[in-house]
Each structure stands twice: as C-alpha cells, then as structure tokens.
C-alpha cells in the first residue's frame, strides 16, 4: 500500500532538528544585527568628527584673529576664541549639558559653538566629548602659525552610558593663514 505524508516519528524528528537549528540561526542573526548597529554608530561618529574638522578648518582659515588671551589651551576642556571675518567673536568649547534619556537625565559633554547670534551644538546629544584639547603651534620666532586639535568622542547607549568600544580619537593640525593675527 502506498501511503503519503509523514509518520508521527518523522514529525517528531523534524521538530527536534528545528528546535536545535532555530536558536543557532537566531543567535547568528542577532549577532549580525548587533554588529551592524555598532558599525552604524561608528560611521556616524566618524562622519561627525569629519564635519567638525571641516567646519573648524574652514572657520579658522577665514578667521581674522585668534584670541589667545581669552582662549584656554592645553587642557581637555580647551576653549578656542577667534574673530570671524565680520570681526564677531566665536567661541568653541566643550560644555556640560543635561540630556534626557529613557532612564533619566544625564550630564553629557558636548562641543558648542557660541557667537553673539546664539549658541549651537556641534555634536549630537548621544555623543560624549571626553577630550577637546587645542595646542598652539608657533614658528621659531614665536608667531602663531597653527593649532593642533585633539578630539576624543564616544557614542552613548540609549541609557546614557558611554560605549567604550565605539569611540574615536582624532588629531588634526590646522595651519593659519598669514592674515590671521594673534590677540
């Protein structure tokens, strides 16, 4: 007699095989999802750092003067004060800000650009700036010719905790134009 279909024994074997394979496949899929999220955060961090470097490069090559008297150099909380082409004072600094996360309000260090027209954040609320260090570069005669900028940023989790594996440190040297004076 020719019977079609599965016997109870075959069905139990197939269910057992699926019970073994499905958790393994789910583990692999979840691993891929977590890695893609980490890669996405890393790319976002690198793009933000590139944008900050680009904006800083542009603004400093256009600057009329670097205010070394009111700037604070050589610390992780450096301040950079300069005059833009319209002779307006611009300050770039690391500022503590209160940011609301699902688990509550946390203090986050962010980069801020301050002008007379108002303040704007240069970094996102889920990005911690742990180091913003600016060092002046001088030639042999002591003239300010550039700035070295050391920036370290870390992504924050949805709870506001710094993700140590998703961080970025960058060092940039910016040459100042000959028309840029020192105040």
**pLDDT mean over 157-182:** 84
CA dist 166 and 152 (Å) reads 11
Residues 162, 149: Cα–Cα separation, whole Å: 22
Distance CA(66)–CA(25), nearest Å, equals: 58
Nearest to 91 by CA among 49, 53, 63: 63
Q: Mention every residue, 6+ apart, whose C-beta is less than 8 A from residue 104.
A: 160
For residue 162, give the nearest of 131, 133, 134 by alpha carbon.
131
Question: What's the rounded Cα separation, in Å, for the pair 75 and 159?
Answer: 28
The structure tokens listed for 173 are: 């040297």
Query: Distance between CA atoms of 31 and 83, rounded to whole angstroms?
Result: 49
Show the beta-strand stretches assigned E in 42-158: 65-66, 79-83, 89-101, 104-115, 118-121, 127-138, 144-156
- Strand (E) or helix (H) holding 163: strand 162-175
pLDDT by residue (tens digit) across 14-57?
Answer: 888 888 888 888 888 888 887 888 888 888 889 999 999 999 99
Average pLDDT, the chain: 87
40 bridge partner residues: none
Side-chain half-sphere of 167: how many Cα atoms within 13 Å? 14
SS3 147: strand
Listed by start position, the domains of the chain span: 8-182
Single pTM value for the model: 0.76
Q: What is the pLDDT of residues 61-119, one digit of tens each?
A: 888 889 888 889 988 889 999 998 888 999 999 999 998 888 888 999 999 999 988 99
């Amino acid at each position: 007699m020719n019977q079609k279909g599965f016997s109870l024994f075959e069905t139990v074997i197939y269910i057992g095989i699926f019970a073994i394979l499905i958790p393994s496949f789910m583990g692999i899929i979840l691993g891929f999802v977590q890695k893609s999220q980490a890669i996405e955060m890393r790319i976002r961090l690198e793009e933000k750092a590139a944008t900050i470097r680009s904006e800083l490069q542009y603004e400093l090559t256009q600057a009329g003067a670097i205010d070394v008297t009111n700037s604070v150099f050589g610390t992780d909380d450096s301040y950079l004060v300069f005059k833009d082409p319209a002779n307006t004072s611009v300050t770039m600094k690391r500022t503590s800000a209160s940011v609301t996360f699902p688990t509550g309000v946390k203090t986050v260090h962010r980069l801020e650009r301050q002008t007379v027209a108002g303040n704007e954040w240069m970094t996102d609320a889920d990005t911690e700036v742990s180091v913003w260090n600016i060092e002046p570069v001088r030639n042999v005669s002591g003239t300010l010719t550039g700035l070295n900028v050391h920036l370290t940023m870390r992504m924050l989790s949805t709870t506001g905790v710094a993700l140590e594996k998703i961080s970025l440190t960058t060092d940039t040297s910016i040459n100042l134009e000959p028309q840029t004076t020192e105040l």
